[in-house]
Chain A
Amino acid sequence: MLINTDSPTSLLREDEDEGLFSRDIHGQLVRLDAPVERDYSRNVTLQIDGQSVTVPMAEPSTDANGNIILDLEGRTTPRYTTIYDAATKLYVRQPGDEAKIPIPVLCHQSHMKPVAVCRLCVVQIYGQKRGKRAAERKLLPACQHQVKEGMEVFTMQDPGPDGERVRQSVKTLTELLAVDQLKPAPRADLEKELAPFNELGRLVERCGADPSRLKREVFAPLQPEAVARKQRLDNSSPVFVTDHSACVLCDRCVRACNEVKGNNIIGRAGKGAMAAIGFDLDQPMGESDCVQCGECMISCPTSAITFNPVASVKPAVKQGTVEKISAAELLKDPLFAGIPPKFLLWQEGLVMRRKVKAGSMLMRQGEAGNTAFIMRSGRYLTTVYKPGQAGTKGFFKAWMGQERKEIAFQVEVTPEDVIVGEMSCLSGSPRSADLKVLEDGEVWEIRRNVLDRLMRLPSQRQKFEKTYRERSLNLVLQSSSIFQGLPKEEYAKIIDYMRTRITFLRINPGQVLFEQGAPADCLYIVRLGYTRIGIRRYEKESRVISRGPGGLIGEIGMLGLAAEDAFKTADEVERALVAVLNQDGVDLAKAIPTGLRTASCSALGQLEVARLSREDFMPMLREFPTLRRRLVERSLGLLIGDRQTNPTIGKYVDQGLYEGSSILALDMDLCIRCDECTKGCAEQHGTHSHGVPVTRLLRDGMRLGNFMVATSCRSCVEAHCMVGCPVDSIHRGKHLQIVIEDHCIGCGLCANNCPYGSIFMVPNEHNAAPKTGQPLHLAQPKAVACDLCDAEGTKDEPEPRCVSSCPHDAAERYSGDELLRLVLAGNGSEKKK
């Protein structure tokens, strides 16, 4: 921000404190203030290589996954727009255009905070100095330098002398880095598959650099200690290899570990010629607290951190031909161009090519969906059935024609739509539609972690989010009981009405949506996740309920109802509403007094909600009388229900049982504590997964009524554990249970994410270091969770051994609802059978 100075004398006076300030190109003192929200609306026009581009002065800060960072009040944090952002806007028109940006980057990645240490993104900047066009004395890094009005930027693409200056600088810098740190791939097969193997090598090619002209012998030799330190090869980890001699100290691994993953293991150690990255207190990687998530390796632009072949992804053959797509082929595709090559090499098999025949089904509504499909050719039909009507019913029902599924909507999709199936892939929820092949074609089936990587690229994210939003709107209304069964015409009108008015929000766990007593300013519909609704009475939380997908939140306050209205009739309330709604020319949002929230609501886990503001809600009540009536009836019903209190429901919510779809509950009136369930579990799974028998359950846990909920995977409806698995080895099985594949690298992220401690990290003896007689026996851990004894999906119904092993019929698997119903009925011993 410019400081207004009335006269040059004031400027001189301030010079005494110049340590805190610096001068701008006009010679005036500037102070770098933090950007503010109003900078979003201030536009700045600048020129890059002669092309004009207008960008906002600031943009909202995003996290590593591209989600906008919100504070506790839901406000964004602005950050200044950089020259690199402006160049991205200018050159990236569609996904894959990132390579067209004429500013090379090495230490910068779009999902990380810029640190400008490599200086490869330098550009020549011209501005106005004392009313004249003047060049900046130094080349400045585009990844960090903020845009200013009237700024002229010259990149290495510019044919003139400024471009030449930039080109020479980038070339020399690249040569200096490459002469010492450009190493071949650690294994010949990798170099063969993808040459050049790393980003530094690619940069050498791009700049036409010749590192061989810079010989290290020219310079003073390093101290032997420094040489030894720089040339360390750390292969203490069974999964990754760290070659310090190839490290360019770009800090990408440091930011990946600390900012992206929040593990805080990697940092800088030493200084000067001794500077290197270090794990914990400069320990070898395998002996540090590193969780081996691989984020540093993927982020590393050189061969400094590479991988060992530990386990490969097994392709799931369903139908048609399935073929792994090589990293080299993927990188040629514009869609995958921005994904780090090492990631694609490390996890080959995460993208599969499927040739599909007309008439075949790619996915079915209600099935587990762990992958998304990128349509390359062919035509496809998406069919969404009304809730509760989809799914395979069995031979006889289907044969007898009893399975009459009512279609909610159908839409044809083509390769122009790029992707389908991404909703369940990202959220871990069951498929929300059937997908039938109409014409022979090819699809690329991608795993969740590949989709996550694609979403990190701003251009891809924009495209996918648009598709996601369009599809989500229909589904969110379909899943809500209030919108079900409406006449088709009215439903279509509601969809049209909401399309432009509804917004989707992602809420972090624990974040409060609203407090009891606050003015009701919007209506929420839960799209994914669960909310905790607590009703306070006499300073005590007297009732707690949870609401999941499709649940409406805040309708009572929006209708202006309060607890004392519970005994009014629906006709009475509606009559009063209609009287106001039908008045002409009034501002409805003001004509009807704003109600107060009758409960507090917060997110129980990751939550996605659709939000409709009060200004849009009121006209909707006038337009759609059937919907209005339903809302009134529902609100009155809830108000009556709010007067009842039941501590069991509070416990049920607090223990997170609402989200379990297969909870192992032991009836403590029957259980004789013989541990047959645990023994049966260990015996059933044998030594296949870990080399030693490992149980998937602990006969210990919290109680609800007569039941004890054992510590065993509950197959949560919204699986917390699946979020962020670096190798996508955890996903849903046939019965929507959680399955951990053999290519798990043991990073422990899923175990940390599971709020119920149901995932155990157990040393994998198949992948253990050879026994050397040392007291410390190292084996790479591998996650283990209950897969309902059907990881392969070969059974029609799951037959968990824990249940069948119990001689006393005490163990049973229930959904959260079933368990609550049993406990409330007080007949624990009357099993669901």
Chain B
Amino acid sequence: MRIDRSHIPWALAISAVATIAALGYAANLHPGQLPLGLKFPEFLGPVPPARVTYGGTPLGLLFGSVAFGIFLFAAALGIRKKKRLWPIGSVQTWLKAHLWLTILTLPLVVLHSGFRLGGPHTMGLVGLYALVMASGIFGVILQHFLPSLMRANLPREVVFEQIPYLQAHLLESAQKMRAQVAETAALGVGGDTSPQVLCTFLDKECLPYLAIKSSRNPNLKSSQAAAETFKMLRVNVHPEWRPKVGEIQAWCESRRLMDLQTKFQHWLHGWLLLHVPSSMALIIVTVWHAWMGLRFLVSQPI
């Protein structure tokens, strides 16, 4: 998703909520410093808080609960995407809410923790949270920049799922040409060496490049190097064989573009392999954290 002007209201709203939360936190800890005679609401517990760990205070619990609620909502995006026909708001709004509300959890989690890492359990939780947030932000950055890069670098794209079939088709075409050229080379008409040159090129460069899943052939891998390679090949064959060289070049170019598209596609969606499982783990560990914390609160009243 590209971060554009349409995100400004979300950014402003999130900033406002984060500011209010921070002010609440400050007011809870330093009530005397509130301006304009403002007072900390009584229903949010004693001022300053009686507990040493801020997460156990009413306001700290509120921050934690809201953050947990946002985690659940964020996880529901997956369900929303599967249930496309449910009339529960547009998927675009859901995605924006997913993005900005999870960013809101940053101040909420920090305030909930009272700027402390706590013990090994909460440290693990924070580490997992950091992983989820980092992978998510990384994903946002990728989705912001990669589509434009793809557009600029891939003059034509194919349906991603079709790439293996198309690559197999390219290889098959090259193999057919190899067989035809080899037949001509065997005849050895007029002492023309062009068929042999083409055969050698197909055997050593083209066919391995088209056959191997992720070929690193330096002569064909980049468009510039490929252009130079085929330029030389054209020089080395008789003019009547040059259309064949053009065909081979087109296959290699298609293959190069498909490889590039695959790479882009993996980058565009690969981060989800980390983000989604870690998010699920975060929810589970958060539930465990909440359960343990609440048990502690109940067992040790003030």
Bitwise, A228-259 to B at CB < 8 A (1) or not (0) is 00000000000000000000000000000000
> Which chain B residues numbered 75 to 115 have a C-beta less than 8 Å away from chain A?
81, 84-85, 90-92, 94-95
Distance from B228 Cβ to chain A, minimum over Cβ atoms (Å):
28
Distance from B10 Cβ to chain A, minimum over Cβ atoms (Å):
14
Chain A residues with Cβ below 8 Å from B4 are 829
Distance from A774 Cβ to chain B, minimum over Cβ atoms (Å):
26
Bitwise, A792-805 to B at CB < 8 A (1) or not (0) is 00000000010011
Q: Which of A674, A680, A829 touches B84 (beta carbons < 8 Å)?
A: A680
Contact between chains at A670 and B158 (CB < 8 Å): no
Bitwise, A660-671 to B at CB < 8 A (1) or not (0) is 000000001111
Contact between chains at B265 and A673 (CB < 8 Å): yes
Contact between chains at A669 and B148 (CB < 8 Å): yes
Asked if B143 is an interface residue, CB under 8 A from chain A, the answer is yes
Measured CA separation A810–B144 after assembly (Å): 12
Measured CA separation A9–B64 after assembly (Å): 122
Q: Which of B147, B160, B268 touches A668 (beta carbons < 8 Å)?
A: B147
Contact between chains at B159 and A700 (CB < 8 Å): yes
Q: A-contacting residues of B (Cβ < 8 Å)? A: 1-2, 4, 6, 81, 84-85, 90-92, 94-95, 143, 146-148, 150-151, 157-160, 265, 268-269
Bitwise, A666-691 to B at CB < 8 A (1) or not (0) is 00111111101001100110000000
Contact between chains at A807 and B81 (CB < 8 Å): yes
Contact between chains at B269 and A807 (CB < 8 Å): no
Contact between chains at A804 and B90 (CB < 8 Å): yes
Given A807-B91, A808-B143, CB of A669 within 8 Å of CB of B84: no
Among B92, B151, B269: residue with most chain A CB under 10 A: B151
Given A805-B91, A829-B4, CB of A669 within 8 Å of CB of B159: no
Measured CA separation A686–B265 after assembly (Å): 28
Chain B residues with Cβ below 8 Å from A708 are 157
Chain B residues with Cβ below 8 Å from A829 are 2, 4
Q: Which of B95, B150, B159, B160 touches A808 (beta carbons < 8 Å)?
A: B95
Chain A residues with Cβ below 8 Å from B94 are 807
Chain B residues with Cβ below 8 Å from A676 are 81, 84, 91
Measured CA separation A679–B157 after assembly (Å): 19
Distance from B54 Cβ to chain A, minimum over Cβ atoms (Å):
36
Q: Which of B84, B143, B157 touches A672 (beta carbons < 8 Å)?
A: B143
Distance from A17 Cβ to chain B, minimum over Cβ atoms (Å):
50
Distance from A40 Cβ to chain B, minimum over Cβ atoms (Å):
51
Distance from B87 Cβ to chain A, minimum over Cβ atoms (Å):
11
Given A669-B147, A670-B147, A700-B159, CB of A684 within 8 Å of CB of B92: no
Asked if A492 is an interface residue, CB under 8 A from chain B, the answer is no
Contact between chains at B143 and A698 (CB < 8 Å): no
**For chain B, what secondary structure do more than half of its interface residues adopt (helix, strand, loop), or is it mixed?**
helix
7 contacts between A and B (CB under 8 A): A669-B2, A671-B147, A672-B143, A672-B269, A679-B84, A698-B159, A807-B81
Chain B residues with Cβ below 8 Å from A680 are 84
Q: Which of B6, B91, B160 touches A804 (beta carbons < 8 Å)?
A: B91
Chain A residues with Cβ below 8 Å from B1 are 670, 672, 807-809
Asked if A806 is an interface residue, CB under 8 A from chain B, the answer is yes
Asked if A699 is an interface residue, CB under 8 A from chain B, the answer is yes
Asked if A263 is an interface residue, CB under 8 A from chain B, the answer is no
Nearest 8 pairs of A and B residues by beta carbon: A668-B151, A807-B95, A669-B148, A807-B91, A680-B84, A808-B1, A672-B143, A670-B2
Asked if A61 is an interface residue, CB under 8 A from chain B, the answer is no
- For A706, the closest partner residue in chain B by CB is B151
Q: Is the interface on chain A under 10, 10 to 19, 20 to 34, or 35 or more residues?
A: 20 to 34
Chain A residues with Cβ below 8 Å from B6 are 809
- For B158, the closest partner residue in chain A by CB is A700
Distance from B21 Cβ to chain A, minimum over Cβ atoms (Å):
28
Distance from A676 Cβ to chain B, minimum over Cβ atoms (Å):
7
Measured CA separation A699–B91 after assembly (Å): 19
Measured CA separation A669–B4 after assembly (Å): 12
Distance from A143 Cβ to chain B, minimum over Cβ atoms (Å):
53
> 13 new A-B pairs (CB below 8 Å) besides A672-B1, A673-B150, A808-B95?
A669-B147, A669-B148, A671-B147, A672-B269, A673-B268, A680-B84, A683-B84, A699-B159, A700-B159, A706-B151, A804-B90, A807-B81, A808-B92
- For A683, the closest partner residue in chain B by CB is B84
Given A807-B94, A808-B1, A808-B95, CB of A673 within 8 Å of CB of B84: no
Chain A residues with Cβ below 8 Å from B91 are 676, 804-807
Given A673-B160, A674-B269, A801-B84, CB of A808 within 8 Å of CB of B2: yes
- For B160, the closest partner residue in chain A by CB is A673
Contact between chains at B92 and A809 (CB < 8 Å): yes
> Which chain A residues numbered 155 to 209 have a C-beta less than 8 Å away from chain B?
none
Contact between chains at B146 and A672 (CB < 8 Å): yes
Chain B residues with Cβ below 8 Å from A683 are 84-85
Measured CA separation A801–B268 after assembly (Å): 23
Chain A residues with Cβ below 8 Å from B2 are 669-670, 808, 829
Measured CA separation A191–B151 after assembly (Å): 63
Chain B residues with Cβ below 8 Å from A706 are 151
Distance from A313 Cβ to chain B, minimum over Cβ atoms (Å):
29
Distance from B140 Cβ to chain A, minimum over Cβ atoms (Å):
11
Contact between chains at A669 and B151 (CB < 8 Å): yes
Among A669, A680, A706, A801: residue with most chain B CB under 10 A: A669
- For A674, the closest partner residue in chain B by CB is B269
Measured CA separation A350–B212 after assembly (Å): 59
Contact between chains at B147 and A672 (CB < 8 Å): yes
Measured CA separation A807–B1 after assembly (Å): 8
Chain B residues with Cβ below 8 Å from A806 are 91-92
Contact between chains at A684 and B85 (CB < 8 Å): yes
- For A705, the closest partner residue in chain B by CB is B151
Measured CA separation A801–B92 after assembly (Å): 13
Measured CA separation A708–B159 after assembly (Å): 13
Chain A residues with Cβ below 8 Å from B157 are 673, 700, 708
Distance from A165 Cβ to chain B, minimum over Cβ atoms (Å):
69
Measured CA separation A363–B1 after assembly (Å): 45
Distance from B83 Cβ to chain A, minimum over Cβ atoms (Å):
9
Chain B residues with Cβ below 8 Å from A670 are 1-2, 147
Bitwise, A684-719 to B at CB < 8 A (1) or not (0) is 100000000000001110000010100000000000
- For B261, the closest partner residue in chain A by CB is A673
Measured CA separation A223–B18 after assembly (Å): 97
Chain A residues with Cβ below 8 Å from B92 are 806-809
Measured CA separation A814–B152 after assembly (Å): 23
Chain B residues with Cβ below 8 Å from A809 are 1, 6, 92
Measured CA separation A809–B2 after assembly (Å): 9
Measured CA separation A683–B85 after assembly (Å): 8
Measured CA separation A699–B85 after assembly (Å): 20
Distance from B74 Cβ to chain A, minimum over Cβ atoms (Å):
14
Distance from A669 Cβ to chain B, minimum over Cβ atoms (Å):
5
> Which chain A residues numbered 447 to 490 have a C-beta less than 8 Å away from chain B?
none
- For B156, the closest partner residue in chain A by CB is A703
Measured CA separation A672–B269 after assembly (Å): 8
Distance from A674 Cβ to chain B, minimum over Cβ atoms (Å):
7
Distance from B276 Cβ to chain A, minimum over Cβ atoms (Å):
14
- For A828, the closest partner residue in chain B by CB is B151
Distance from A813 Cβ to chain B, minimum over Cβ atoms (Å):
15
Chain B residues with Cβ below 8 Å from A807 are 1, 81, 91-92, 94-95
Distance from B196 Cβ to chain A, minimum over Cβ atoms (Å):
39
Measured CA separation A684–B87 after assembly (Å): 12
Measured CA separation A679–B160 after assembly (Å): 14
Measured CA separation A804–B94 after assembly (Å): 12
Chain B residues with Cβ below 8 Å from A699 are 159
Measured CA separation A829–B2 after assembly (Å): 9
Measured CA separation A109–B132 after assembly (Å): 76
Measured CA separation A825–B92 after assembly (Å): 25
Distance from B95 Cβ to chain A, minimum over Cβ atoms (Å):
5
Measured CA separation A700–B84 after assembly (Å): 22
